[in-house]
Structure 1
Amino acid sequence: MSARAPSAQPLAHPAASGEQRFAHVACACAGFGRRAVVVAAAVLLAGCAAKVGRAPESTLATPAQWRSVVGPGEGVAAADGSKPVEQEWWRAFNDPALTSLVATALQHNEDLRIARARVEDFHARVAAARAGQQPSLALAASPTRTRTLAYNGVPYDTNVFSAEFQASYEIDIWGRLASATEAAAASYRAEQANADAAALSIAATVANAYLNLRGLDAQLELAIATLKLREESRMLAQRQFEVGYTSRLEWLQAQAEYQTAAEQIPQLQRQIFETENALSLLTGANPGAIARGTALADLTPPPVPAGLPSELLRRRPDIARAEQNIVAANASLQATRDQLLPSFRLTAADGIQSTDFSDFLHTPANLWRISLGLTAPIFEGGRVQAQTDSAAAQRDQAVFGYESTVRNAFAEAENGIGAIYRLREQVVQNDARRETAAETLRIARNRHRNGYASYLEELDAQRTLYSADVARLQLRTRLLTASVDLYRALGGGWQAPTR
């Protein structure tokens, strides 16, 4: 897959086609005489004078491989980027509570509902733009009574009863109306992709918040268990001080360590409370408690296969939105430039008229008319050229925005893959660190109880083990959220190949 910008061909008016277009206009206007042809030719020359700058060339290049380094024996499977997007990727965590939260958020989140309402808005705009390419019909009925002066100066009254159907249709010779419709359709598709991006963001945000909540729950459980151990150590130190076995210093140190552990609990409870409220708001509910599912220790991040193709990034809705923005900008530029070309409107009317109401109902006179109108700008002070320049600049912005979006997508995917592998390495080191800390605490506790060391050694070992346990829980949480971030970066998820 080559991540190139969508086709954004320069829309400069081809000078070589001027004579052909002039001949076409001349044929269309032959029934209106030589003057109409001259006017059309003058306007056509004005249209050819509109200048459009070339679209910027894309500088995007697809990386040959991901920068993330895979360790020996890791990620031997290959991914298939041609498979469909895994829509409900959060189910891979096998947590019913998480699945329910995401489903509720996708249905009731206010930001997502606003995004979907915008989609309906842009869908209506497409219908409005398409209506401009269709003929319009109207019914007009007007009973009229007038008083006028005769040739001799005597006023007299006249009644006129009339009714007619009117039809008009603009002949889209240059494709201006079609371009405007295509611009509206591309903007609609971009807004659809924007709603998909909002849904992906909401799902990922909910998943990350829930996983962080489970991490905080685990830390709270650890803090409560640690507080119980600190209480036992404090009571032991107090009894030893009271019988004169140890000094008051060791008892105060045990007391301080107990208070430090106790201080962690309300802090974690506050964070849990705030995270629950944030999750409630994400799901479109009032702040409240959140139902729990699988414990942190039982949550397993999905495996990341090696060889993830960059084609996966085409799943990202923000890239699809950027592509459609280019299409919309190109079509808008075409429609804006074609304002300098003449427009032709076919108008027809058929109706009845009478000066007497009885005759109007029974024997009215039938009246009709048909006309082909030509409207062409002669001089507008450079307004259309300025609008064309503005539309061209907007097209260039869309191209640059597309390139920026693609590069950001590559960076986010790289960061997501790299984060998972580096966090796994940290987990290995943390396991070794915790094992060492646990053994250190066992030895320090035995030395203290046998009178070979002071309580300070055991206290220091307890701190080291608690720090390793907290880091372990935080690493596990970060590994889970890194998987969510990679899902988001890849635009929905990956799928391992079937064996």
Structure 2
Amino acid sequence: MKTVVPVLVAGMVAAALAGCAAKVGAPPASRLQVPAQWRAPIPEGATALPVDAQWWQGFGDPALAALVTAALANNGDLRLARERIEDYRARVRAAAAAQQPTLSFDTSPARARALSPATGRPYVANAFQAEFQAAYEIDVWGRLANATEAAAATLRGEQASLDAVALSIAANVATGYLNLRGLDAQLELARATLQLRERSRDLARRQFEVGYSSRLEWLQAQAEYDTAAEQVPQLQRQIFEQENALSLLAGASPGPIARGKALAELVPPPVPAGLPSDLLRRRPDIARAEQAIAAASAQLAATRDQLLPTFRLTAAGGIQSTDLSDLLHGPTRLWRLAGTLVAPLYDGGRVQAATDSAAVQRNQALIAYENTVRQAFAETENGLDAITRLREQVVQNDARRATAAETLRIAHNRYANGYAAYLEELDAQRSLYAADVARLQLRARLLAASVDLYRAMGGGWTAPGQ
């Protein structure tokens, strides 16, 4: 009978603990499918070499490299992200501190007037006490360790988020600089075109003055000159705004931006390639989503364990006396040891509701991870396809420009020899100018597409420890 009672008690305790554990739903099944290869065509000249962490150096422009370096050092968003890292480091230390014992000191001098139980007369008594107290919670179920792991995973996620912000800043600076050089080239073309339109206008005016052509042709030439002149301040405004935007990205006040190579001299770095599965290890935003899952899972475990009993050890030791001099020289020494077992019996469903909420947050983190990976696949596919299609557009634009240039040459000769009206030459000039503008825009877009692809491929980022 004596042996049956302990077994029965142990069984009742185990059953009680099992009943205390909060119920947790199973995580949703993953719907993520990683393709075996890219859907978009791999551009010619693609390399399977690892992406260089300083990929912007591949453009060979010292001004671009200096601008990106300044942005990575001084950008305001990056500075805020670095401060958030320090905040989450402190949170990890705070969570880990809960697993350590606590030690405190308490002193409480007191003086009181009371009635003596023996004589019934009032008397005044002094009490001087100094005590050290220590407490330690035994983390039997791992609740404190899970809370610490949740904080640590959140910190790792913030570190990956910092890397994602840095990648975005570098890509935005590179794209902005390339767009700026494209605008510079368009402004140069607009000014050169304006000089041609000025000569055509002056020629049309002279021919009108000598009676060789009509006033209509002169006015048409003047209108075309005015149209070309209008493009110059418009492009100057866009350049001004682009410079200010780049200055802000670099963490500086609005101002001019140093130039390096011209648009025609810039060469995009090699096109990176690789399998879709490699992308899962090369993007910081995916790593951030992974750490969000780890943090949510650890927080779920810590929340669930709040329904389990907690074990706490306390110890105190000190001295006490009714006289201050005795407290310093001959006090009475006191001590106590205690162990506490606390188990919740009824909380109105608070912990179960918190556990359900934590489980939903874990499920949300899983779904967010899937969405992040799919978005990464789409961005990489778009980047690969953009480079291929833009290269094809460049080929077509070259053919278009060659045709427009030959058309202008013939139209000019016909007009100069009196075989055609000035309107034919004017149309040919417009076609050639449009082709030249499209050519510059395509070149800038092709360079920017390389930046987008490097951003989509993770920009050479690798997870810590890899």
Question: Per the shorter chain, which TM-score range?
Answer: over 0.9
**Is 1:332 equivalent to 2:299 in the alignment?**
yes
- State the one-letter code of the partner of 1:59: R
Deviates more, 1:241-250 or 1:357-366: 357-366
For the residue of structure 2 that corresponds to 1:315, the secondary structure is coil
**Is 1:116 equivalent to 2:88 in the alignment?**
no
* Residue pair 1:234, 1:254 contacting (<8 A) in 2 also: yes
**Is 1:447 equivalent to 2:414 in the alignment?**
yes
Q: Deviations over 1:172-209 (max 9, x none)?
A: 00000000000000000001111111111111111111
C-alpha separation in 1, matches of 2:210 and 2:194: 24
**Is 1:364 equivalent to 2:337 in the alignment?**
no
Q: TM-score, normalised by structure 1?
A: 0.88
Alignment correspondent of 2:48: 79
- State the one-letter code of the partner of 1:438: A
Alignment correspondent of 1:47: 20
For the residue of structure 2 that corresponds to 1:251, the secondary structure is helix
Alignment correspondent of 1:201: 168
Alignment correspondent of 2:3: none
**Is 1:64 equivalent to 2:36 in the alignment?**
yes
C-alpha separation in 1, matches of 2:269 and 2:123: 93
Q: Deviations over 1:232-271 (max 9, x none)?
A: 0000000000000111111111011000000101111111
- Unpaired segments ≥5 residues, structure 2: 1-5
**Aligned equivalent of 1:214, options 173, 178, 181:** 181
C-alpha separation in 2, matches of 1:269 and 1:249: 31
Would the alpha carbon gap of residues 123 and 307 (structure 1) be closer, same or farther in structure 2, given more than 3 Å must change?
A: closer
- Share of identical aligned residues, percent? 71
Q: Give the C-alpha shift of residue 305 in structure 1.
A: 4.9
Q: Give the C-alpha shift of residue 352 in structure 1.
A: 1.2
For the residue of structure 1 that corresponds to 2:240, the secondary structure is helix
- State the one-letter code of the partner of 1:117: E
C-alpha separation in 1, matches of 2:88 and 2:164: 16
* Residue pair 1:350, 1:368 contacting (<8 A) in 2 also: yes
Alignment correspondent of 1:295: 262
**Aligned equivalent of 2:131, options 152, 164, 170:** 164
- State the one-letter code of the partner of 1:47: C
Q: Give the C-alpha shift of residue 87 in structure 1.
A: 2.1
**Is 1:140 equivalent to 2:106 in the alignment?**
yes
C-alpha separation in 2, matches of 1:458 and 1:109: 50
C-alpha separation in 1, matches of 2:191 and 2:361: 59
For the residue of structure 2 that corresponds to 1:167, the secondary structure is strand
**Aligned equivalent of 2:150, options 183, 187, 196:** 183
**Is 1:88 equivalent to 2:50 in the alignment?**
no
* Residue pair 1:40, 1:342 contacting (<8 A) in 2 also: no
* Residue pair 2:284, 2:461 contacting (<8 A) in 1 also: no
Would the alpha carbon gap of residues 307 and 398 (structure 1) be closer, same or farther in structure 2, given more than 3 Å must change?
A: closer
For the residue of structure 1 that corresponds to 2:290, the secondary structure is helix
- RMSD of aligned Cα (Å): 1.9
* 1:225-236 correspondence runs (5 A): 225-236=192-203
**Aligned equivalent of 2:289, options 302, 322, 343:** 322
* Residue pair 2:36, 2:276 contacting (<8 A) in 1 also: no
Q: Give the C-alpha shift of residue 101 in structure 1.
A: 1.2
* Residue pair 2:128, 2:320 contacting (<8 A) in 1 also: yes
Q: Give the C-alpha shift of residue 223 in structure 1.
A: 0.1
* 1:448-487 correspondence runs (5 A): 448-487=415-454
* 1:374-389 correspondence runs (5 A): 374-389=341-356
* Residue pair 1:79, 1:494 contacting (<8 A) in 2 also: no
**Is 1:260 equivalent to 2:227 in the alignment?**
yes
C-alpha separation in 2, matches of 1:446 and 1:312: 57
Q: Give the C-alpha shift of residue 455 in structure 1.
A: 1.2
* Residue pair 1:146, 1:157 contacting (<8 A) in 2 also: yes
Would the alpha carbon gap of residues 376 and 306 (structure 1) be closer, same or farther in structure 2, given more than 3 Å must change?
A: closer
* Residue pair 2:92, 2:152 contacting (<8 A) in 1 also: yes
Aligned length: 455
Q: TM-score, normalised by structure 2?
A: 0.94
C-alpha separation in 1, matches of 2:24 and 2:414: 85
Alignment correspondent of 1:421: 388
Q: Give the C-alpha shift of residue 69 in structure 1.
A: 2.1
For the residue of structure 1 that corresponds to 2:252, the secondary structure is coil
Q: Give the C-alpha shift of residue 136 in structure 1.
A: 0.5
* Residue pair 2:200, 2:221 contacting (<8 A) in 1 also: yes
For the residue of structure 2 that corresponds to 1:314, the secondary structure is coil
Alignment correspondent of 1:126: 92
Q: Deviations over 1:320-351 (max 9, x none)?
A: 00000000000000000000000011000111
- State the one-letter code of the partner of 1:163: A
* Residue pair 1:174, 1:338 contacting (<8 A) in 2 also: yes
C-alpha separation in 1, matches of 2:432 and 2:460: 37
Alignment correspondent of 2:366: 399
C-alpha separation in 2, matches of 1:307 and 1:184: 34
C-alpha separation in 2, matches of 1:78 and 1:91: 17
C-alpha separation in 1, matches of 2:410 and 2:318: 108
Q: Give the C-alpha shift of residue 386 in structure 1.
A: 0.5
Deviation >3 Å, runs of 4+: 37-43, 305-310
Q: Give the C-alpha shift of residue 42 in structure 1.
A: 7.1
- State the one-letter code of the partner of 1:148: A
For the residue of structure 2 that corresponds to 1:169, the secondary structure is strand
C-alpha separation in 1, matches of 2:42 and 2:253: 44
- State the one-letter code of the partner of 2:218: W
* Residue pair 1:437, 1:468 contacting (<8 A) in 2 also: yes
Q: Deviations over 1:426-451 (max 9, x none)?
A: 00110111111111111111111122
For the residue of structure 1 that corresponds to 2:211, the secondary structure is coil
* Residue pair 2:34, 2:276 contacting (<8 A) in 1 also: no
Would the alpha carbon gap of residues 287 and 61 (structure 1) be closer, same or farther in structure 2, given more than 3 Å must change?
A: same
C-alpha separation in 2, matches of 1:462 and 1:440: 9
Q: Give the C-alpha shift of residue 494 in structure 1.
A: 9.4
Would the alpha carbon gap of residues 218 and 163 (structure 1) be closer, same or farther in structure 2, given more than 3 Å must change?
A: same
C-alpha separation in 2, matches of 1:41 and 1:421: 66
